[in-house]
Homo-oligomer: A and B are copies of this chain.
Amino acid sequence: MLTAKQRELLLFIRDHLHSSGVSPSFDEMREALDLKSKSGVHRLISALEERQFIRRLPNRARALEVLRLPDGASPAGSEVPASAAKPVPIAANDTIDIPLHGRIAAGTPIEALQGSENFTVPAALLGPGEHYALEVSGDSMVEEGILDGDFALIRKVDTARDGEIVVALIDEAEATLKTFRREGQMVRLDPANRSYEAQRYSPDRVRIQGRLAGLIRRY
C-alpha cells in the first residue's frame, strides 16, 4: 500500500503530532527524511493523501491529520494505535468515486483538466454510465438554482435533448454549463440568468461533453 518513504513520512507525522501537538511543516519533514528539497516531501504528502492515509487543508500551514496507519505500525506512545481508536463506524458501501475535473469556466476543454482530485458521491445520486464532477464558476445558471462554487455531477454523454442542462464545448475551446435547445438548424445554449443572453451556434461548433446529473453544495 505504501512505499518505504511514504511509510516513514507517515510515521514521522504521527510521532510529531503526538509529541508536539501540531503537525510538522514541510521543512521539518524535509529535515526528518534527510532531504534537501521540500518538493519531494510534497510528492510524498500527495501520495499519502491520495491513498487516504492523511487528510489536509490545502494552502494551510501545518494542517495535516493522520487518518490511519499502515499495517503493522507500532503505536506512538504506550497507548492504543490510532486505527483502533476509530472503529470505522459506517460501512454503507454504496458510493462512487468520480474524478473532479476542475472548475467549469471559459478557456479549456474538460478533457484537458485531468485533475487528480476525486470526489465521493452516493451511488444513488448517479444513474448508469460514467460520471465526473465540475466546480461551477460564475452565476449564469442561478435561476436554475446552480450557484457559483456548487459541484455539478455530470454524466458523460455526447447527445442532449431539448431543455437538458449540458456541458457544452464551443469551438473545442470553451466549456460552459447551459440549457440545451435546438432552434432550426442551430443550437441554442440558454443561460438561466436574465443578465446573460442565449447563444446560438451551428451544430458543428458545439460538442456535448455531458449532461447534468446531480448537484452538491457545501455551506
Contacts and interface: CB of A to CB of B under 8 A. Distances in A.
A62 B218 contact: no
Interface residues of A, number: 59
A147 B165 CA distance: 16
Given A51-B63, A120-B123, A122-B122, 6 more contacts: A21-B70, A92-B97, A92-B118, A211-B219, A212-B219, A213-B219
B90 A96 contact: yes
Nearest to A77: B72
A121 interface: yes
Interface of A: 1-4, 7, 17-18, 20-23, 51-52, 57, 61-65, 67-68, 70-73, 86, 88-97, 118-125, 142, 145-147, 150, 165, 211-219
A18 B74 CA distance: 12
Contacts of A71: 17-18, 21, 65
